[in-house]
Amino acid sequence: MSTASAASAASTATRRLTVAQALVRFLANQHTERDGRRQRLIVGCFGIFGHGNVAGVGQALLEAGDDLRYYQARNEQAMVHTAVGYARMTNRLSTFACTTSIGPGATNMVTGAALATINRIPVLLLPGDIFATRAANPLLQELEDGRSFDVSVNDCFKPVSAYWDRINRPEQLISSALAAMRVLTDPAQTGAVTLALPQDVQAEAYDFPEDFFAERVWRVRRPAPDAETLAEAVELLRTASRPLIVAGGGVIYSEATEALRELAEATGIPVAETQAGKGSLAYDHPAALGAVGATGTHAANEIARDADVVVGVGTRWSDFTTASRSLFANPGVRFVNLNVAGLDAYKHAGLALVGDAREGLTALRGQLGGWSVAEAYRDEVRSLAAAWDDTVSAAYAANNAPLPAQSEILGVVNEVSGPRDVVVCAAGSMPGDLHKLWRTRDPKGYHVEYGYSCMGYEIAGGIGVKMADPSREVFVMVGDGSYLMMAQELVTAVAEGVKLVVVLVQNHGFASIGALSESLGSQRFGTRYRYRDGRTGQLDGDVLPVDLAANAASLGADVLRATGTAEFRRCLQQAIASPRTTVVHVETDPLAPAPDSRAWWDVPVAQVAELESTRTARADYEIHKRDQRTYL
Ligand SMILES: Cc1ncc(C[n+]2csc(CCOP(=O)(O)OP(=O)(O)O)c2C)c(N)n1
Ligand SMILES: [Mg+2]
């Protein structure tokens, strides 16, 4: 549990406010504290107004002014992405609230809520809701359920929220607001927290106790793992000859990267990284193996195959990390899971070190004393990592013609960016390529949303990243498909003066799903953006006359069009020098692949099919399926 302390002594004074005014005032007084550092928990409120919140939360924000600053977005899903970007960048210590109208404005946030909860990132969602009094129902945009008038579209938030509540009476706000803060600041439970606010209740006045508005500090705890389980883990590690650490997002959120480096240096245990954990160790550290799993490096995946003890730190063990449970192939492999969430710590029948990553890593190093892996194992790790680094250099210099390969574009961004700068991405072929190929030099330098891998996160999430740390350049990598889903937040970046460098990679469709489709025998069906051909009846005509650069310019961004890598490099430098949000548009070859990971991903192929391509892929699938294990 997080602990809260109220600054003022208890009193019987009350203040008459509307529910929305009380909530806004309450939120402005919430703080988090960890390691003696204190910061605002809710730094502002994004919102799009409609009848469901304009006179309630909207009026309250107007009165509050800079006590809880209002920010405007163009799409409700996007404002949750921005809050997530901000919260992840601040290691989950600060976030935004998001207010919406009822109906479509509210349900537009459901995808954002799922993204936040799956990535374990705190965001506070305040969807408007239908009248609690039902005085005039059905309202505009009300879902009518003939079996119960208690149902509203906001019930959709229940499975995607870490905490969900509906404030049907003013006095309910007090305990629900406190519960919401508890969950937001609990590292094991955090995610989207939803307080649905009926339209009439928002505007209703109540005599709130003055103490409700006292400054509160929520300590983000660092629980230590159980001593006996820790001793068992140390015993197990001492018997290991090929141990491996898999670093997940928890390492970064807990600010445990120093503790990880010290453990790796003291013991020689090599470190592989998940998507959220990338940046835990600098790419050129002697113990660094880079990305692991279905989008991993040959170095990490080769070590993973024979590892006898695998220490997962702050990882949820997603299918990408385990190559759909085929990667860890040593028959006797044992898992040790250091995780603040029991849900993750107990996975793969592992020794469950339920606790904070930094606490656990420091304790492990202390108890392992002078124990180390054999020198030959350290050498093996270093030479595999060096070979992979040569692979990266070759991919950066692929010299594909006539259009550059995507790996060349990523290489230019990596070379031109500074060590503290941040790369942001979420969906398409770039997350996998970045995971393998990006040379990360700072724990906060790599921000790929791959829990939900949500097309459209890129620009909106990038805004949150930049707002959290304006001292860093933020490079938003966005494919044409993702751009078309949520380009409109460029307007928000321009309005707020939040400077992004957006690299818009045009390859006329879904290169990622196209390659996946082909590998599964589905012949890239439906994955390219093309005219419908009159003769075939299929979407395989000419390339569409779409100009995304012109689109970006129309939204208020500066735009540079680059052809080829040399011009792309010059444009990128110009974008960095500019104080304004700049989109660099570049066309790449969708068929020039990055180096393969030599790891599998379980995507089932049709068991019966007329198509020869599908039957061949199915035979291949069945071979891979034999490598899938249960890890008991
Ligand atoms: C909202 C959403 N819809 C669908 C998908 C499935 N999906 C993953 S990648 C992708 C294509 C992305 O296209 P683009 O941004 O152009 O990147 P590219 O694959 O060309 O690199 C799709 C449809 C998703 N991840 N998110
Ligand atoms: Mg594309």
Instruction: Tell whether ligand 1 has an atom less than 6 A from the beta carbon of residue 430.
Output: yes
Gap from CA of 503 to ligand 2 centroid (Å): 12
**Looking at residues 534-552, what average pLDDT do you find?**
96
Instruction: Tell whether ligand 1 has an atom less than 6 A from the beta carbon of residue 427.
Output: yes
Does 318 score more than 50 pLDDT?
A: yes
Nearest CA owner, ligand 1 atom 9? 428
Gap from CA of 78 to ligand 2 centroid (Å): 20
3 pLDDT band, cuts 50/70/90, is very low
Q: What is the pLDDT of residue 303?
A: 98
**Looking at residues 230-252, what average pLDDT do you find?**
98
Gap from CA of 623 to ligand 2 centroid (Å): 30
**pLDDT above 90 coverage of the chain, percent:** 98
Instruction: Tell whether ligand 1 has an atom less than 6 A from the beta carbon of residue 511.
Output: yes
Amino acid letter, 285: H
Instruction: Tell whether ligand 1 has an atom less than 6 A from the beta carbon of residue 451.
Output: no
Residue carrying structure tokens 């490598």: 627
**Looking at residues 107-122, what average pLDDT do you find?**
98
Q: Which atom of ligand 1 is nearest to the CA of 483?
A: 15
Q: What is the pLDDT of residue 9?
A: 53
Nearest CA owner, ligand 1 atom 7? 428
Sheet holding 422-425, edge to edge: 446-448, 422-425, 474-479, 501-506, 582-587, 558-562
Number of the ligand closest to the Cα of 594: 1
| Residue to mutate, 275, 478, 512, ligand 1, most ligand atoms under 8 Å from C-beta | 512
Does 7 score more than 60 pLDDT?
A: no
129 pLDDT band, cuts 50/70/90, is very high
Q: What is the pLDDT of residue 1?
A: 38
**Looking at residues 511-528, what average pLDDT do you find?**
97
Instruction: Tell whether ligand 1 has an atom less than 6 A from the beta carbon of residue 479.
Output: yes
> Between helices 357-368 and 257-267, what is the axis angle to 10°?
20
Instruction: Tell whether ligand 1 has an atom less than 6 A from the beta carbon of residue 111.
Output: no
Which candidate, 301, 255, 316, places its Cα nearest to that of 89?
255
Does 439 score more than 80 pLDDT?
A: yes
Instruction: Tell whether ligand 1 has an atom less than 6 A from the beta carbon of residue 453.
Output: yes
Q: What is the pLDDT of residue 603?
A: 98
Does 402 score more than 90 pLDDT?
A: yes
Q: Which two tokens stand for residue 358?
A: 């930094």
pLDDT digits (tens, 9 = 90+) for 58-76: 999 999 999 999 999 999 9
Cα(245)–Cα(338) distance, rounded to whole angstroms?
A: 10
Instruction: Tell whether ligand 1 has an atom less than 6 A from the beta carbon of residue 429.
Output: yes
Gap from CA of 593 to ligand 1 centroid (Å): 16
200 pLDDT band, cuts 50/70/90, is very high
- Report the SS3 class of residue 303: helix
Q: What is the pLDDT of residue 51?
A: 98
Q: Which atom of ligand 1 is nearest to the CA of 484?
A: 15
Q: What is the pLDDT of residue 11?
A: 75
Phi/psi for 31 (5° steps) reads -135, 160
pLDDT digits (tens, 9 = 90+) for 177-189: 999 999 999 999 9
Q: Which atom of ligand 1 is nearest to the CA of 479?
A: 15
| Residue to mutate, 513, 518, 585, ligand 1, most ligand atoms under 8 Å from C-beta | 513
Gap from CA of 558 to ligand 2 centroid (Å): 21
Does 10 score more than 80 pLDDT?
A: no
Indicate the length of the chain as a whole number: 632
**pTM, to two decimals:** 0.97
DSSP per position, 339-398: ESSHHHHTGGG-EEEES-HHHHHHHHHHHHTT----HHHHHHHHHHHHHHHHHHHHHHT-
| Residue to mutate, 111, 433, 455, ligand 1, most ligand atoms under 8 Å from C-beta | 455
Q: What is the pLDDT of residue 66?
A: 97
Q: What's the mean pLDDT when you consider all of the chain?
A: 97
pLDDT digits (tens, 9 = 90+) for 264-314: 999 999 999 999 999 999 999 999 999 999 999 999 999 999 999 999 999
Gap from CA of 492 to ligand 1 centroid (Å): 23
Count of other CB atoms within 10 angstroms of residue 587: 20
Does 83 score more than 70 pLDDT?
A: yes
